[in-house]
Structure 1
Amino acid sequence: MRYVSTRGLPGSPAAGFSDILLEGLAADGGLYLPAEYPQVDAATLMSWRNVLATQGYPALAHQVLSLFVDDIPSDDLLGICQRAYTAEKFASSSIVPVERIGDGPLWLGHLSNGPTAAFKDMAMQLLGELFAYELGRRDDHLTILGATSGDTGSSAEYAMRGHERLSVFMLTPKGRMTPFQQAQMFGLQDANIHNIALDGVFDDCQDVVKAVNADAEFKAKYHIGAVNSINWARLVAQVVYYVAIWLRVTTTNDQRVSFAVPTGNFGDICAGHVAREMGLPIDTLILATNENNVLHEFFSTGRYRVRASSEVAATSSPSMDISKASNFERFVFDLLGRDAARVADLFGRQLSENGFFDLSGTPEFKRITERYGFVSGTSSHADRLQTIRGLYFDNGVLIDPHTADGVHVAHEWIGRVAAPIVVLETALPVKFAETIKEAIEVDLEIPPRFAEVMNAPRRVVDMPNDPQQVKDFIVRTS
């Protein structure tokens, strides 16, 4: 399996999995994708169904990942999956339980039982094991520079903490995360973990990460890598849970399932796009946004407009308070027939000069639903409260605000897309206790495994929104 950049011109050299694992963002500013998506058929799905039933999630992960990874020995890759996905880490041997909501068409895919109570653990635990393995094989060190709107940071830090070959520098938007999210990150005392609170919003943090990566000399000297969803290894790990959930809610190998996915950065739903392109029988991918609806605007109108920081609303589903969807470029690359020059123009020149691009009049945009299965919707604070309240009192199911965005939008598509519709859970409600209390007027009890999180001393550095100061901090602490 070889990988190409979304901005790479014809004839550009392709790369192997282990190389792009450590590189993250491509040198030309693009994102990596397989040169061709591997294809699965009914026989493969039948085999995977048996593997999941008899050997469990780690073995299924090994089977799926083996289609994308050919430069790590199979036995080693299996060991990586077995270390990443344990019952101890995910509170259940099933790793990804699936629950039907009442007797209707909606289901919940529970992705948040990992160490930080967020779906990001599903990919990050694997990524940590992959990093440790590859760095050991190369006798090397990696400096992780990432940005988070809430959950990526803690998931990354819990997966990388204590690894002597890894240093983590995580940028957060100051004051934009919930108290629980901040406590999870800033309470870590591991010497290889560094938290930086920047003035600004998530997109400013992401821009700083990209600016540092754009300094090729600095990136090479300090071995800068990525854990954000720009890293292909993280996205391909998410493909696995689409497969697992599909297997758990179907009884035949041709049954179609729809997925409703809360997303701001397009990473979670992009994994669904990849799974669909591989041949997994996915009918519709229902994209759900909050008030920061840049993605819903594109899928509704064809116009992709990046918002200024001042336009990004602080909402009660803060992990989706994003106006620049980093992973979106991967989908547009496929949408435009993998025309890298055109993608580079859209995401390079046009966004830089105009702040938007418009595909509304193109034949490709007209095929988004029919060819790629995408529809979208948006949700408000009032919608979230009503959805949380309704599920709790009607069905005894408690969900977090981001998942509520997904459920709300999924309801709008019932009867118009194939059922079942699986809503992908984003996090456990405990991470957003204030909003949950507003919705159901009940104080949440903190689960015992998180009891000490809020009381840990904080370790974080405040910093202005300046790439050079971030680089200087990396130099001082490396």
Structure 2
Amino acid sequence: MQYVSTRGQAPAQSFSEILLGGLAPDGGLYLPVEYPRVSGAELDAWRGLSYAGLAFEVLKKFATDIPEADLRELARKTYTAEVYRNARAGEDAAQITPLRVLEDGDGGKLVLQALSNGPTLAFKDMAMQLLGNLFEYALARQNAQLNIFGATSGDTGSAAEYAMRGKKGIRVFMLSPYRKMSAFQTAQMFSLQDPNIFNIAVQGVFDDCQDMVKAVSNDLAFKARHKIGTVNSINWARVVAQVVYYFRGYLAATASNDQKVSFTVPSGNFGNICAGHIARMMGLPIDQLVVATNENDVLDEFFRTGVYRVRKSAETYHTTSPSMDISKASNFERFVYDLIGRDAKRLSALFRKVETEGGFDLSGEPGSDGDEFRKVAEYGFVSGKSVHADRIATIRDVHQRYGVTIDTHTADGVKVAREHIKPGVPMLVLETALPAKFNETIREALGRDAERPAGFENIEALPQRFEVMNADVEKMKAYIASHTGL
């Protein structure tokens, strides 16, 4: 399996060669030359597998240069009941991503897929724990070091830091928008005292953090000298690790391969739902992929109109589903590459327009950049938007009707899912995080605090260690250089 850049100016490479690097040298994102296909017979054979066994079967289609025995052991080591603990009473932690049916009537079937039983109580753990083990494995084979430089709007950072803390040969430099995460999210990251973890709170919004990660990654000399890698969803290995739970959700929700399902995904950076797109391209019987946004509705606007229009920092809202407070979706480039027939030259031109004009238009209207918007439906994509009043109402409704407390992002997903559910097609909403991470809004919605898993009772009171910096790429490079020892 070889991988190429969406920008078309980088040589094809293997999975192991792109594992540690993040962006391609030409500034593009890696994708396989072609998506591997999964047959109906394989799906049948996978129905009885553990999550670790399923992860191995999916991953071996992409990581063809890693010995299968090693890949199987990495999956087994990652996906255990000890790591993905029983975070909610009555659930079998060994299932890793159990399903919970909320509604099953004439109007359709609405199901939550729990993805937040990991160490940081967010779906990011599903991929990040594997990424940490893959990185350590690859670095040990090369006797090398890696300095991870990433950005987070809330959950990626803590998931990465908990996955990488104490890993030999790895340091983590994580940017986050200063005072724009929940108190729990902030404490979860900043309370870590491990010497290989560096938290930098940036005066700005998530897009400012993400832009700096890309700027540093595009400085190829600095990147090579300081051995810079990334764990953001621009990293292909992280996206492909997320493909696994789409297969798990489908297999758990159906009895045969004749049945289709749909997935609703709360989305800001398009990484999670990009994994769903890949699963569908592999042959998983997915009917619809529903993009649920919050007030930062760049993606919803595109899937409704064909216009991709990024917002400036001043136009990005700080909301009560803060992990989606993103106005420039990094992984969207991977989908557009497929949408326009994998035309790398045209893709590059479109994303140059993003930088120079703030976006592009594929609606097919006079003066637009193309007419590919009509093809969006062929890929199963639809979308919707949820705002603060919607998520408060949804949290209350789900709690009152089913006795289930959901977090703010999952509430956005449930609200939008209900707008697209079809009779006869189960709708799986991917849970984003446990509600304890957004207690301020849970208290507003329900008049009480969210339940906290053991070990997180007083996390906000722990000492915090972090640096506050401006969104200055050169100062950021200097900070990294002064702490790498390279």
- Alpha-carbon spacing, 1:5–1:418, altered in 2? closer, same or farther (3 Å): farther
Give the CA deviation at 1:444. Answer: 2.3
In the alignment, which of 333, 338, 354 is matched to residue 357 of structure 2?
Answer: 354
* Pairs within 5 Å for 1:30-429: 30-50=28-48, 52=49, 56-91=50-85, 92-104=93-105, 105-347=109-351, 349-361=352-364, 362-369=370-377, 371-415=378-422, 419-429=425-435
Shift of residue 283 of structure 1? 0.5
Q: Distance in 1 between matches of 2:110 and 2:392?
A: 18
SS in 1 for 2:47: helix
Local SS of the residue matching 2:28 = coil
Following TM superposition, by how much is the alpha carbon of 1:285 offset from its aligned partner in structure 2, in angstroms? 0.3
Q: Which residue of 1 aligns with 2:477?
A: 471
* Cα distance in structure 2, aligned partners of 1:444 and 1:300: 35
SS where residue 437 of structure 1 aligns?
Answer: helix
SS of 1:377's partner is strand
CA contact (8 A) 1:42 1:254 kept: no
CA deviation profile, 1:140-196 (whole Å, cap 9, x unmatched)? 000000000000000000000011210000000001000000000000000000000
Bigger mean CA deviation after superposition, 114-123 or 97-106: 97-106
Classify 1:419/1:351 alpha carbon distance in 2 versus 1 (closer, same or farther; 3 Å): same
How many residues are matched? 469
Secondary structure in 1 matching 2:383 = strand
Cα distance per residue 1:380-405 (max 9 Å; x no partner): 10000000000001111110000000
- Per-residue CA deviations over 1:32-56 (Å, capped at 9, x if unaligned) read 0000000111101011113x2xxx1
Q: Secondary structure at the match of 2:416?
A: helix
> Deviation of residue 449 (structure 1)?
2.4
Aligned AA (2:315): E
Name the CA distance, whole Å, in 2 between partners of 1:276 and 1:13: 27
SS of the equivalent of 1:206 reads helix
Please give the alpha-carbon distance, in whole angstroms, between the structure 2 residues aligned to 1:220 and 1:212: 11
**Take 1:438 and 1:418, find their aligned partners in 2: how far apart are those partners?**
35
Could you list the runs of 4 or more consecutive aligned residues of structure 1 that deviate by over 4 angstroms after TM superposition? none
Match of 1:4 in 2: 4
Secondary structure in 2 matching 1:209: helix
Could you tell me how far apart the structure 2 residues matched to 1:208 and 1:363 are?
A: 32
Q: Quick check: 1:292–1:320 contact (8 Å CA) kept in 2?
A: yes
The 3-state SS of whatever aligns with 1:100 is strand
Is the contact made by 1:201 and 1:309 (CA closer than 8 Å) also made in structure 2? yes
> Is this contact kept in 2: 1:284–1:418, CA < 8 A?
no
Which whole-Å CA distance do the structure 2 matches of 1:131 and 1:255 have between them?
Answer: 37
**Offset at 1:452?**
4.4
Rounded Cα–Cα distance in structure 1 between residues aligned with 2:238 and 2:405: 27
Q: What is the aligned partner in structure 1 of residue 88 from structure 2?
A: none
How far 1:418 moved relative to its partner? 5.6
The whole-number CA distance in structure 1 between the counterparts of 2:159 and 2:119 is 8
Deviations 1:283-330 (A, max 9, x none): 000110000000000011111011000000010000000000000000
Question: Deviation at 1:123?
Answer: 0.3
d(CA) in 2 for partners of 1:356, 1:227 = 26
Cα-Cα RMSD = 1.0
Q: Distance in 1 between matches of 2:44 and 2:3?
A: 28
SS at match of 1:23: coil
Structure 2 stretches lacking a partner, 5+ long: 86-92, 365-369
Q: Does the CA contact (< 8 Å) of 1:403 and 1:427 recur in 2?
A: yes
Q: Is the 8 A contact 1:269 1:287 kept in 2?
A: yes
- CA distance in 1 between counterparts of 2:458 and 2:4 reads 44
Amino acid at match of 2:76: Q
What residue number does 2:444 align with?
438
Distance 1:174 1:249, change over 3 A: same
TM-score (norm 2): 0.95
What are the superposed Cα offsets for residues 425-445 of structure 1, whole Å, 9 maximum, x if unpaired? 000000000101111111224
1:332 counterpart letter in structure 2: V
Residue 352 of structure 1 aligns with an amino acid whose one-letter code is E
Q: Work out whether residues 260 and 410 of structure 1, in 8 Å CA contact, stay in contact via their aligned partners in 2.
A: yes
2:346 counterpart letter in structure 1: R
Match of 2:215, SS? helix
What is the alpha-carbon distance in structure 1 between the residues aligned to residue 447 and residue 322 of structure 2?
A: 20
Q: Which amino acid aligns with 1:118?
A: A
| Offset, 1:455 | 2.4
Residue 457 of structure 1, aligned match among 456, 463, 484: 463
Could you tell me how far apart the structure 2 residues matched to 1:424 and 1:209 are? 27
Q: TM-score, normalised by structure 1?
A: 0.97
**Aligned counterparts of 2:76 and 2:289: Cα–Cα separation in 1:** 29
Q: C-alpha separation between the residues in 1 aligned to 2:459 and 2:286?
A: 38
Asked if the contact 2:259/2:425 (under 8 Å) is kept, the reply is no
C-alpha displacement at 1:447, in angstroms?
1.9
User: In the aligned structure 1, how far is the partner of 2:242 from the partner of 2:119?
Assistant: 17
Q: Note the C-alpha offset of 1:422.
A: 0.2
SS for the counterpart of 2:414 is: helix
Corresponding residue to 1:21 among 16, 19, 22: 19
Give the Cα–Cα distance (whole angstroms) in 1 for the partners of residues 239 and 413 of structure 2: 20
Q: Whole-Å Cα distance in 2 between the matches of residues 282 and 363 of structure 1?
A: 24
Deviation at 1:367, TM superposition (A): 1.6
Distance 2:58 2:144 in 1: 27
Tell me, which stretches of 5 or more residues in structure 1 are unaligned? none
Contact 1:21–1:231 at 8 Å: present in 2 too? yes
Task: Tell me the secondary structure at the aligned position of residue 93 of structure 1.
Answer: helix
Moved more, 435-444 or 261-270: 435-444
